[in-house]
Chain A
Amino acid sequence: MRVSVITFPGSNCDHDAQEAFAYYGHKSRLIWHKDRDLQNPDLVVLPGGFSYGDYLRCGALARFSPIVEEVMAFAKKGGLILGICNGFQILTECGLLPGTLLRNIGLDFICQHQYIRVEDNNTAFTHQIPEGTVMDIPIAHKEGNYFCSDEILKELQDNHQIVFRYCDKQGNINAEYNPNGSRENIAGICNRTRNILGMMPHPERAATPYVTSNDGGKIFAALEEYFNLN
């Protein structure tokens, strides 16, 4: 796969994402936010970090970067887009995903290992990962509290757009295992056409044997499987 990772001013997980995809044998490259050429990717990654210092609202200013116009056009054509953490926030600010990431309910910046459960595998990002699989993928954010209206929540549920939810090691989902106050323990959602995924956990930080968990690698492997089949 050809993977283009966008670097915004303030991105700090761009190199991690690029290296994780390279580790899985993909041709990954960094694209500066002022460029207007995505370089013909199979997948665009909006990485974690603090684009534009998180000024005004997280992700609000990044959507005016020149490359985002190209990302929007790529999305419209059905291109695969993965937004991780700040990338998820940018996707909601762009209107490519519904809802908003609010300040964590406990106000703290949370940086910890986190169990999430695969709720839906009808996406390129979770292709062939059995639903109900529990993965240990770290989170690191202060604004990860997913919020949406009741109407949008119903749409997400009806259209099976909730892809990951926070849980415990056994896959139980309740308020106790919700680290940030997200509605319905939501950790990741996709759009209706299922080509765009936003998630707060960082799969690129759990994708190589050098770190405690390799569960993020399941997402990289799923993408590869999906790509090879299509």
Chain B
Amino acid sequence: MLVAKIFVCLKPNVLDPQGKAVCNSLQQLGYTNVIEARVSKYIELTFDSDNEESTWKETDKICQELLANPNTEHYWFTLENKEESQS
């Protein structure tokens, strides 16, 4: 089995109010070296397949079709074997 570990992030030119709030809170806590925070989504998909090439293509298609909004978000992912990803 393969696990796709997917990150979906707002594009750099898109304002991230959540990230801004997190950054403000960190600064209030005294972490004044933090000057920016961006909040992203992390999604794991487990595939009943060991074929890395086809799973890579399928994951990419899934990201384009549903998981990321191309207007505002970009994505990247890694593929791992289920056993490796649990260790």
- A: residues with CB less than 8 A from B are 56-57, 60, 92-93, 98-100, 102-107, 145, 147-149, 181
Q: Determine whether B45 belongs to the interface, using a CB cutoff of 8 Å to chain A.
A: no
Q: Determine whether B15 belongs to the interface, using a CB cutoff of 8 Å to chain A.
A: yes
Residues of B within 8 A of A103 (CB): 17-18
Q: Per-residue 0/1 for B47-87: is the Cβ within 8 Å of any A Cβ (1 yes, 0 no)?
A: 00000000000000000001101011000000000000000
Query: A56 near B71 (CB under 8 angstroms)?
Result: no
Q: How far is the CB of B74 from chain A (nearest CB, A)?
A: 13
Q: How far is the CB of B17 from chain A (nearest CB, A)?
A: 5
Which range holds the interface residue count of chain B?
10 to 19
- B: residues with CB less than 8 A from A are 14-15, 17-18, 21, 66-67, 69, 71-72
- A sample of 23 cross-chain residue pairs with beta-carbon separation below 8 angstroms, ordered by A number, consists of A56-B67, A57-B69, A92-B71, A93-B69, A98-B71, A99-B71, A100-B69, A102-B14, A102-B15, A102-B17, A102-B72, A103-B17, A103-B18, A104-B17, A105-B15, A105-B17, A107-B17, A107-B18, A145-B17, A147-B14, A147-B15, A147-B72, A149-B71
Residues of A within 8 A of B69 (CB): 57, 60, 93, 100
12 new A-B contacts at CB < 8 Å, known A57-B69, A105-B15, A107-B21? A56-B66, A56-B67, A92-B71, A98-B71, A100-B69, A100-B71, A100-B72, A102-B14, A102-B15, A103-B18, A147-B14, A181-B15
Main secondary structure of the interface of A (DSSP, over half): loop
Residues of B within 8 A of A99 (CB): 71
Residues of A within 8 A of B67 (CB): 56
The listed residue with most B CB atoms (<10 A of its CB), out of A98, A103, A148, is A103
Residues of B within 8 A of A98 (CB): 71
Residue of B nearest to A61 (CB): B66
Docked Cα-Cα span, A105 to B21, in Å, equals 10
Residues of B within 8 A of A60 (CB): 66, 69
Q: Which 9 A-B pairs have the closest CB atoms?
A: A100-B71, A100-B72, A107-B17, A103-B17, A105-B17, A107-B21, A100-B69, A57-B69, A147-B72
